[in-house]
Structure 1
Amino acid sequence: MRYLFEEYALDTDRRELHRGTEMMSVTPQVFDLLDFLIRNRERVVSKDDIIDAIWNGRIVSDAALTTRFNAARGAIGDSGEEQRLIKTLPRKGFRFVGAVREEPAPSGAAMADAPAEPRQPSIALPDKPSIAVLPFQNLGADPEQEYFADGVVEDITMALSRFRWLFVIARNSSFTYKGRTVDIKQVGRELAVRYVLEGSVRKAGTRVRIAGQLIDAETGAHLWADRFDGALEDIFDLQDELTSSVVGAIAPTLQREEIRRARCKPTENLDAYDYYWRGLAKTRFWTRDANSEALRLFQKAIELDPRLACAHGMAAWCYAPRKARRWMIDQAQETAEAIRLARRAVHLGADDPVALCMGAYVLAFLAHEFDDAVAFMDRGLAINPNLAQAWTLSAWMRVWKGEPDLALDHAARAIRLSPLDPYISNINGAVAFAHFLAGRYDMASSSAEKAMRANPEFLLSTCIFAASNALGGHLGAAKKGLARAREINPDLRASNLEDLTPFRQAEHIARLAKGLREAGLPE
């Protein structure tokens, strides 16, 4: 079926959104949201209706829902203020109000008669073998074990990432396909990768089975498939076997010794690692309660294994959003604990990229130890150059250090590794700050607007939008941006800007303050 509205066409059979002859780039969940709203345009659909249809009833934060609606509106030239096509009815729900015409999708014969225009990926394939690891199905009887299947995928992705000759898509982008039946060829086009790994996990008592299949995303051919059974205590060995088999299928000439060296058993204590996986699952939800629960779980993992470096790194990282979102109760005590955990992480995790990169970010953000932090971050990225989240954090650190060109380079790497990242606002925020520091105020404003569109609650991007417009001579937009910033944080003043983000050079915070003062920020 094709739905036609204004200059747009939504093709549900080919899962494509067109504006005229141009094919628009949308993530799978945004496409599903548009499809659901248009198909149900005769009625108001509730938030619960949407969550059931798009997320299969899983818990979804209001911020995540807002992000998808902003992206859907942006894809069809609408906005939250205009609501020309997608209307929000307070306390009731949402409705697609545009005039829609339906027509059948072109038949196979009609498509065959049409001129052949091979669809090109919006992003070029990397110059080395590229792979995305899709979420594994949880085949266990207990749906609460979903975190376990996700943790297995996290570890396999990380293991593959350590092969420098591989290009591995970040988990955040791969997991946008979670809970959905997908077309592997389409996944390959959307993520611009050659290979896709999918599979399943079944945990029953003390036994576990991991099954996987490697698919050529260009042809759809199955290159390899196998399953690995064993005791739960052998989980890391099973993951290593699967990883080795995948690598061997992609590059048969690879020496087994190289594969063996890439293996890294994080801990002998499976209970500790189980808590670590549970904590990782909670970090996907950017709410105060989820953050507190993640921190508790990481602390429990540390209690069970005081040398688990990755748990120290993630526990330290939990304090960063607590500071940024004003969730800290005792700021001095919590800041000191975050720095302690970060130093412990980089000390224990000399070869652990998660420990190094998360610890480094906290040392920069909370301790302002920029030089040491950059050294630790660079070491972590040298070990695992496929860690998209670390490239994002590194971009922010380069902003704070006053290196805008490096910040832009690192942000670009993050976007390429995670092109469908649900937290793209964080990357665009770093890009906006980098352009602001370089004096490119129009580009800073544009990137900040992208970040705001993806996450309307992102205070830093809203501030940079206001400041860059003020210094660029667009006072009306600057005042509008500042008004939004003060809705997010009514206590915002020129005198407390340093609480938002650290800058190594005083001139940079002074420039931000100058722009916001011109936009109307009080002292």
Structure 2
Amino acid sequence: MVMSETRRRLAAILAADVVGFSRLIEIDEDGTVAALTRHRRDTIDPLIVSHGGRVFKTMGDGLLAEFSSVVEAVRCAAAVQEQIAAFNREVPADRRLEFRVGINMGDVLAVADDLLGDGVNIASRIEAVAAPGGVVLSDDAMRQVNGKVPFAFIDLGEHRLKNIARPLHLHALDRARDGVSPTRSVRRDLTLPDRPSIAVLPFDNLSSDPAQAMLCDAMAEDIIIDLSRFHSLFVIARDSSFLYRSRPADVRRIGAELGVRYLLEGSLRRAGGKIRVTVQLIETATSHHVWAERYDKEAAELFALQDEVTRAIVGRLVNRLQRADLEIARRKPPDSLQAYEYWLAATNAHELGTAEGHAEAKALYEKALATDPRYARAHAGLAELCYMELLVGAWGQPREPILEEALEHARRSVELDESDAQPHVILGWVHMMRREFDRAVKHWAIADELNPNDAEVTMSRATAHAFLGEPEAGLEMAEAALRLNPYCPDWYLSDKAVIHFIAHQYEPALAIYGSIGELYPHSALWHAAAAAKAGRAEEAQAQAAAFLAQAQQSWAGDPKATPTDQVNWLVDSLPFKRDADVAHFREGLRSAGLPI
């Protein structure tokens, strides 16, 4: 047998696939296949060749191509999207084939005609971040094309992608002038709310130390949290406003895209024990500077500075401040700046969503508590790590000890700072997982009162209402969360798909899975049940098989457990209040061919 030669090299990898291909096949299988074949034959493949590339793998509705030049890969992607967009103008909206494209520059392993390795995997993952008709580049690719192509780009900031351990900095080809949104979930029909509305942009790091960028982000994020507590304001979530990092500040355009009347910009410089913060409040319609201020403080006074900035902004946007709102806005800061910095590092690791990230986060939360035992946020982080482990960690473990630990940390967090909404949300979910529904509802109501503009609180409550047997109310809350966070992260959409299923709305759930895939290990269960209920037997069976494979890999319980035991364990972990909703879910899983 002749062994294939393997070698490593740098390559630009282009990954592309069709948005919502399963839905299109369901509507018109023959027409969809014919359209895809035509696009490949007449547009995509010729453009790849003309820009010096080659297709090395196809996957039904997608492909992977290699280029020796990132510049040519980007030019090819832009040309492909332009020609397909022109073709689609004559096609009904529900029949259009739209492509997402991701481009990465990285090290690959060549095996015969195939390419393997992180360079390929990253291109495939970032492709999923692109909007329909959009192109997203990794930071490595962006460095190669900067100033060499006649296109504008939007800095999307850091993203944490499935099965990629480190966060990746991404950039989107800016085709907004052609009516193509920069990311999948942005909405163009946003109108101004009926109360003062604001977005806080990420603060610029003017320090010589790049590591201070994390502190800049934390400063802006904490101001967002504090502003969100005022019922008389409408505040855009961090995920959406931080997408404008490093982007030229066209305040009129940002205001239109986010649907807000005001923007807050700022910068932070830290040198030794001193910090200088500069902030300015701008009216988006006129670019008029409503207010600007510079603060010079000791680093230890950071939390008092955040409170001062918040008061100044609210004082200019709201005619009359109520004392209750002012009191609500005062969260209890940690006693130590070091504890705060440990907490910042912990949340970054926590959000990776990996076992390694969770282990690192736990160690950092514990360091924060060792520095300041009364730091409420660190207790809240440990509580969330506990109960998330039951759903996305190693399955099959005894639930009660984990939930007891979660309850202890969540209660302690609320005791230490009753004015912070997030600990109430986490305590609510711990009670929910323990089937203590009335207690859960109580804490979510408190969280909503404390922070009515927090998109994550709103989305968490939306999902909770669905499990409580009120999916219609959950969908209304989900829409409110999406308005607060127009560029929402994928977990909002994944949760919304679950709410749709509980509401017996299978096609909307499947449309979401067609767009973002299965975000969590247990998402395949919901996808399988929705597909079965919608009569898509082949899709349902494929998702059922995917779940069983995942269960085999993630199971940490009794080694003698059968697939039936594994499915039942996870279903029993879900906090359904109504027996009818459990039966509905089990029926869908059974129809998908799962042993239950």
TM-score by length of 2: 0.67
**Mapping for residues 311-326 of structure 1, pairs under 5 Å:** 311-326=378-393
**What is the CA–CA distance in structure 2 between the aligned matches of 1:104 and 1:382, rounded to whole Å?**
45
CA shift, 1:165, in A, is: 0.8
Q: Which residue of 2 aligns with 1:75?
A: 132
* CA distance in 2: counterparts of 1:135 and 1:61, whole angstroms: 29
Cα separation, partners in 2 of 1:341 and 1:225, compared to 1, 3 Å:
same
1:407 aligns with 474
Letter of the 2:582 counterpart? I
The match for 1:432 is 497
Q: d(CA) in 1 for partners of 2:289 and 2:107?
A: 38
Distance 1:517 1:192, change over 3 A: same
Give identity over the alignment, percent.
33
For the pair 1:127 / 2:194, whether they are aligned, the reply is yes
How far apart in 2 are the matches of 1:308 and 1:68? Answer: 36
Change (3 A) 1:504 1:126: same
Match in the other structure for 1:189: 256
Aligned to 1:396: 463
* Count of residues in Structure 1 that have an aligned counterpart in Structure 2: 450
Which residue number corresponds to residue 404 of structure 2?
A: 336
The letter for the 2-side match of 1:349 is D
DSSP-derived class of the 2:473 partner:
helix
Q: Relative to structure 1, is the Cα distance of residues 448 and 277 closer, same or farther in structure 2, using a 3 angstrom cutoff?
A: same
Q: Secondary structure at the match of 2:532?
A: helix
1:254 aligns with 2:312: no
Say if 1:134 and 1:340 are closer, same or farther in 2 by CA, change over 3 A.
same
Distance 1:328 1:472, change over 3 A: closer
What residue is the counterpart of 2:50 in the other structure? none
Equivalent residues of 1:457, 1:488 under 8 A apart: no
Contact 2:81 2:133 in 1 (8 A): no
- Alignment of 1:512 with 2:574, yes or no, is no
Code of the aligned partner of 1:363: H
CA offsets 1:454-477 (integer angstroms, 9 cap, x no match)? xx4423433222112212322122
Q: C-alpha separation between the residues in 2 aligned to 1:209 and 1:104?
A: 35
**How far, CA to CA, are the matches of 1:420 and 1:61 in structure 2?**
26
How many angstroms apart in 2 are the aligned matches of 1:104 and 1:427? 31
CA apart distance, 1:75: 0.3
Map of 2:509 onto structure 1: 444
1:515 counterpart SS class: helix
Residue deviations 1:275-329, cap 9 Å, x none?
2233233333222222222222222222333332222222211223322222489
- The answer (yes or no) to whether the contact 1:445–1:464 under 8 Å persists in 2 is no
Q: Distance in 2 between matches of 1:61 and 1:343?
A: 44
Q: Could you say which residue in structure 2 is the equivalent of 1:235?
A: 302
Is 1:522–2:580 an aligned residue pair? no
Q: What is the CA distance between 1:182 and its match in structure 2? A: 4.3
Q: Distance in 2 between matches of 1:124 and 1:255?
A: 25
Question: Does the CA contact (< 8 Å) of 1:7 and 1:19 recur in 2?
Answer: no
* Aligned counterpart, 1:474: 536
Paired residue for 2:89? 20
CA contact (8 A) 1:7 1:20 kept: no
- 1:338 maps to amino acid: A
**Contact 2:229/2:325 (CA < 8 Å) preserved in 1?**
no
Query: What is the CA-CA distance between 1:496 and the residue it aligns to?
Result: 2.6
Q: Distance in 2 between matches of 1:517 and 1:274?
A: 48
Distance in 2 (alpha carbons) for counterparts of 1:297 and 1:5:
46
Aligned residue number for residue 497 of structure 1: 570
Report what 2:557 is aligned to: none
Task: State the partner residue of 1:419.
Answer: 486
8 Å CA contact 1:278–1:294 kept in 2: the answer is yes
One-letter code of the match for 2:499? Answer: A
Residue 346 of structure 1 is matched in structure 2 by 414
Query: Cα–Cα, structure 1 residues 521 and 393, in superposed 2: closer, same or farther, change >3 Å?
Result: same
String of CA shifts for 1:483-523, please: whole Å, max 9, x gaps. Answer: 33334434664433325522223332232222122111134
SS of residue paired to 1:459: coil
**1:204: how far off?**
1.6
- Secondary structure at 2:295 match in 1: strand
Q: How does 1:121-270 map to 2 (within 5 A)?
A: 121-251=188-318, 253-255=319-321, 260-261=326-327, 262-270=329-337
Q: Relative to structure 1, is the Cα distance of residues 287 and 268 closer, same or farther in structure 2, using a 3 angstrom cutoff?
A: same
Which has a greater percent of strand? 2
8 Å CA contact 1:360–1:373 kept in 2: the answer is: yes
Q: 1:522 to 1:182 in 2, by over 3 A?
A: farther
Q: CA-to-partner distance for each residue in 1:121-148, whole Å, 9 max, x for gaps?
A: 4222211111111111122222222221
- Give the aligned residue type for 1:69: E
Hey, what's the Cα distance between the residues in 2 that align with 1:361 and 1:331? 18
Helix, strand or coil at the partner of 2:208: coil
Taking the aligned partners of 1:21 and 1:166, their CA distance within structure 2 comes to 43
Conserved? CA contact 1:462–1:481, under 8 Å:
yes
* Residue of 97, 105, 108 corresponding to 1:46: 105
Code of the residue aligned with 2:105 in structure 1: it is: S
Structure 2 residues not aligned, in runs of 5+: 1-74, 94-98, 109-117, 142-148, 153-186, 554-562
CA distance in 1, matches of 2:266, 2:420: 26
SS in 1 for 2:577: coil
Unaligned runs of 5+ in 1: 11-16, 25-30, 38-44, 50-59, 78-84, 87-92, 94-101, 106-119
**Secondary structure, counterpart of 1:228 in structure 2:** strand
Q: Deviations over 1:211-232 (max 9, x none)?
A: 1111222232322221111112
In the alignment, residue 469 of structure 2 is paired with which amino acid? G
Structure 2 counterpart of 1:363? 431
Contact 2:392–2:522 (CA under 8 A) maintained in structure 1: no
Contact 1:449 1:465 in 2 (8 A): no
The aligned counterpart of 2:358 is 291
Give the equivalent residue in structure 2 for 1:52. Answer: none
Indicate conservation of the 8 Å contact 2:264/2:281, yes or no.
yes
Q: What letter corresponds to residue 46 of structure 1 in structure 2?
A: M
State the superposition RMSD in angstroms: 3.7
Deviations 1:175-225 (A, max 9, x none): 223344443222222211111111111122111111111122223232222
Structure 1, residues 95-117: CA drift from partner, whole Å, max 9, x if none?
Answer: xxxxxxx9999xxxxxxxxxxxx
Which of 1 and 2 has greater Rg? 2
TM-score normalised to structure 1 length: 0.76
- Match of 2:193, SS state, is coil
Q: Give how far 1:375 is off.
A: 0.8
Is the 2:202–2:241 Cα contact (8 Å) retained in structure 1? yes
State the alpha-carbon separation in 1 of the partners of residues 415 and 514 from structure 2: 39
The residue correspondences of 1:32-43 to structure 2 (distance < 5 A) are 37=103
